[in-house]
Structure formats: structure tokens, C-alpha cells
Amino acid sequence: MSSPRILVTGGCGYIGSHTIVDLLESGYEVVSVDNGINSSFDVLDGIEAITGKRVMNIDVDLSETAEAVAAIKEHGPFDGIIHFAALKSVEESVFKPLRYFRNNIGSTLTTMKIMEDLNVPHLIFSSSCTVYGTPENLPVTEDTPMGRAENPYGATKQTGEILYDQYFKNKTGKTGISLRYFNPAGAHPSALIGESPTQKATNLVPVITETAIGLRESLMVFGDDYPSRDGSCIRDYVHVTDLARAHTLAIDHLLKQMNHRPYEVYNLGIGQGVTVLEAIHAFQEATGVNVNYMIGPRRAGDVAAIYADNTRITDQLGWKPEQDIQSIMRSAWAWEKARRK
Ligand SMILES: NC(=O)c1ccc[n+]([C@@H]2O[C@H](COP(=O)([O-])OP(=O)(O)OC[C@H]3O[C@@H](n4cnc5c(N)ncnc54)[C@H](O)[C@@H]3O)[C@@H](O)[C@H]2O)c1
């Protein structure tokens, strides 16, 4: 039997590239589609060095539906799509909402057109815990209602979920899963691929590693007066290789028709909250490298605490996180040093 073929949108990006490695190592064939708007095509060399396989990338803008479908059609058929491609800077989305709506919602619509025109039955969507807004109860379960979107980026994730929910409910024979990521971090243990955005890093772990390596003088901890163990915000950090594994399990699940519903959502976090200060200390302990930080005022729009109830994904997809915060920090540091050589 031939290997199932998966179209990975945003395959040259941070999570897409790690997922491609996991898919290839699990026996899938992969084609990537990425226009390099926030990545470098060099990542394909890293994937090849890890897996011994060269992945083809189609360089096209997914928000240009007709052009993208035509370019992708030449390389079908596909058994499934994993849809990562999106712009992801919360900060930028506030200044350029239309750019985010066009790119992210436009690309999402294109994936549905690809499913129709190329007869692709299954899709996995990269969603985010941002869809919960500011949750009232912790940990958050998938039944927690969507909160009001905090910013235009968050609105594109909510919109994606709403559209897929309606699409899969109403399109017989098509199935989908949205994975709501908590805080993806870390890098492949080989240090051959990792997070290397063309945009300025805003997530905590790359900001820590950039500070440690001297690209930033110090990092700002936004607020130490939250109701947490040490006053800083609480997040649920999930290692990118664990995150990648969840995508392979999710596509397996749909291909084997183990799903009970045409569309399902899963929280994807380890289920433990870590404060910003604990994360900084974990980095220092794991690497022996000091990080300069300052305590600043709270940042508008930050949720005090959010972490996942991951019972659904562990029970239904058999996902089990294997890495902890120390391993996230060690791998992120190894990658930071490797990419600056
Ligand atoms: N990294 C996080 O913290 C996080 C958290 C929650 C959800 N997500 C979601 O996960 C997905 C992947 O995130 P990531 O961290 O790997 O981001 P990334 O920026 O590293 O990867 C996204 C990739 O998509 C490509 N892309 C964007 N728009 C495109 C378009 N119109 N056509 C073709 N290619 C396009 C970019 O060039 C990039 O390579 C995104 O949808 C993001 O919103 C990420």
C-alpha cells in the first residue's frame, strides 16, 4: 500500500517543519505549500538532514485562491491537509487587521476549495487557546465557550473554527479537527530546525534565548502583581516535538475513521501552568546561562493565567506529552546557538 500523502500549508514555518519531520518519520509522504512570508526555505535542508528525505515546497500565496488551487492541483492527490499557514503576530494584527483577515481567513477559505477541487477528505487546523479569551475557570476544557477575541489575530482563529465547524457539519464525507495550541516552544533535539521567524520574536522562549545570547540587553517581565505563585503570568508551555506528534495522531485518527463526529476540537497543552519567572529560572537551570530581566508594568491584553485540561486529546487521540519545561529550554538554547553560527 502506498503511503498517505499530506499537504502541509506553512510547512516551512516553525510548527509546520517539526510536524513534517514527525509525519515523514511516521511513514507519510508530504508536500509543503509556503510562500516564505515568515520563514526561509532553508528549513527544507534541515528537514532533509534529519529525515534523509527532500520535501517539495510549492511557493504560492494561499490567500490567492485561484492561483493557489491551480498550483497545488499539479501535485495531488492528497489524503489530508494540515493547515498551519497564517500570520501570527498579535502586535502586528492590531495595526494591520485587514492584512490578517485577508491572509488568514483567505488561506482558510482556500483550504476548503482545495478539499473540494482535489477531493481531499480530511483537514487539521492550527487553532489557539486565544479563542477562549479570558477564561473564568481553569484549567480550560474544550467546552469553555469562546471568549470575545482580544485582537484581530485571535479573531482569525475564531473565524477559522466557526467556518470549519459549519463546513464539516454540512459536507458529507469530509472530516476535520482543530487543535487549540497553548504555548508551543522549544526546538528539534538535533538543533537543525527551530523557530526562526523573519518577524521580531514576541513569544517568551525565543525572547529568553535572544536575551541570553546578547541580541537583547534584557527582557521585560510584564507585571509581577498577578494572583499567581510569584505574581507573573501563567502559561502552558508545550514542546514543539510533542505538538508535532499530535498532528500525526490527529491525521491518523481521521484516516482510520476513528472520529465520532465530522468535526472536533482538542486542547493541546501539557496541562500545567508555569509562571514567566519560573520559565526564566528553568532556562537558567537547564543551560547554566544567566538572563537579564526587569519587571515592568502589566501589558494590555495579557490574560493572567491559562492552561489546558488535555483529557480529551489524551483519551481520544492517545497523545501524551513527553517533554518538560527544562527540555524546552535546553532545545531552544541549542537551536539559538546553532542558528547564530
Ligand atoms: N507559535 C505559536 O505560538 C502558535 C500558537 C497558537 C497557534 N499558532 C498557529 O500555528 C500555525 C503555525 O504557527 P508557527 O508558529 O509555525 O508560525 P510560522 O510563522 O513559523 O509559520 C507559518 C508559515 O505559514 C507561511 N504562510 C503564512 N501565510 C501564508 C500564505 N498566505 N501563503 C503561503 N504561506 C503562508 C509562513 O511563511 C510561515 O512559514 C499558525 O496558524 C499560528 O497561528 C501558533
Instruction: Tell me if 153 is assigned to some domain.
Output: yes
* Cβ 37 under 6 angstroms from ligand 1: yes
Q: How far apart are CA 216 and CA 238, in angstroms?
A: 24
> For position 334, what pLDDT does the model report?
98
* Cβ 72 under 6 angstroms from ligand 1: no
Q: What is the CA radius of gyration of the chain?
A: 19
pLDDT in tens, 268-308: 999 999 999 999 999 999 999 999 999 999 988 788 999 99
Nearest CA to ligand 1 atom 2: 184
For the purposes of burial, counting CB atoms within 10 Å of the CB of 171, is it exposed (0-12), middle (13-18) or buried (19 or more)?
Answer: middle
pTM: 0.98
Domain count within the chain? 1
> For position 340, what pLDDT does the model report?
85
Instruction: Tell me if 336 is assigned to some domain.
Output: no
Q: Which of 14, 132, 153, 226 is catalytic?
A: 153
Instruction: Tell me if 198 is assigned to some domain.
Output: no
> For position 1, what pLDDT does the model report?
65
Q: How far apart are CA 254 and CA 178, in angstroms?
A: 12
* DSSP label of 85: -
> For position 150, what pLDDT does the model report?
87
Q: Which of 119, 61, 50 is nearest to 86 (CA)?
A: 61
Mutate to test the pocket of ligand 1, among 88, 123, 129, 196 (most ligand atoms within 8 A of CB): 88
Instruction: Tell me if 223 is assigned to some domain.
Output: no
> For position 198, what pLDDT does the model report?
74
Instruction: Tell me if 80 is assigned to some domain.
Output: yes
- Output the domain CATH number for residue 313: 3.40.50.720
Q: How far apart are CA 179 and CA 218, in angstroms?
A: 33
> For position 200, what pLDDT does the model report?
72
Please give the chain's pLDDT, 341 residues, in tens. 689 999 999 999 999 999 999 999 999 999 999 999 999 999 999 999 999 999 999 999 999 999 999 999 999 999 999 999 999 998 899 999 999 999 999 999 999 999 999 999 999 999 999 999 989 899 999 999 998 998 999 999 999 999 999 999 999 999 999 999 999 999 999 999 999 877 778 899 999 999 999 999 999 999 999 999 999 999 999 999 999 999 999 999 999 999 999 999 999 999 999 999 999 999 999 999 999 999 999 988 788 999 999 999 999 999 999 999 999 999 999 999 999 88
Instruction: Tell me if 282 is assigned to some domain.
Output: no
Q: Show the domain range for 133.
A: 5-187+237-270+309-322
Ligand 1 centroid to Cα of residue 88, in Å, is 6
Instruction: Tell me if 284 is assigned to some domain.
Output: no
